[in-house]
Amino acid sequence: MGNYVSGQVGNYVSVTPPQVRNSVSVDTLIGALATSGVALLNETPRRRAAATDSDRSALRGKAADVFVHIFNLQHEMEWMRWQAAQRPESLDVSVAAAYESAVQPSIR
């Protein structure tokens, strides 16, 4: 009985043979591996969701940029059409140049 480890637990004396101590270590290892596996299974979908949210946010930003350019183009075309219909005499080279300078950044 010299190989046994004993210790005082409350009012009881605990005696653990070496085989039981090794079994506890293996049980602890299995429990730790199982817990880690579950944590990994939970973490993977969370990271995928975070990446998807990031991608969506980037896509929304790009879509907003495209909308700004399309809105600018539409506004300039409507303005030019109104000028041609309502005041054709006001259309000259300077108006065409202003139109080109307003539209060109949106096309590129």
At 12, the pLDDT band (50, 70, 90 cuts) reads low
C-alpha angle 59/65/68, rounded to 5°? 140
Residue 76 has pLDDT above 50, yes or no: yes
Domain boundaries, the chain: 17-107
Query: What is the percent of the chain where pLDDT is above 70?
Result: 75
Residue 87 has pLDDT above 50, yes or no: yes
Residue 100 has pLDDT above 90, yes or no: no
DSSP string, 74-87: HHHHHHHHHHHHH-
At 5, the pLDDT band (50, 70, 90 cuts) reads very low
Dihedral through CA 21, CA 25, CA 30, CA 32, nearest 10? 140
Instruction: Look at residue 2 in the predicted model and tell me its pLDDT.
Output: 46
User: Quick one: which of 39, 37, 18, 40 has its CA closest to 29?
Assistant: 37
Place of tokens 């219909």: 85
Residue 52 has pLDDT above 80, yes or no: yes
- Between 2 and 74, whose confidence is greater? 74
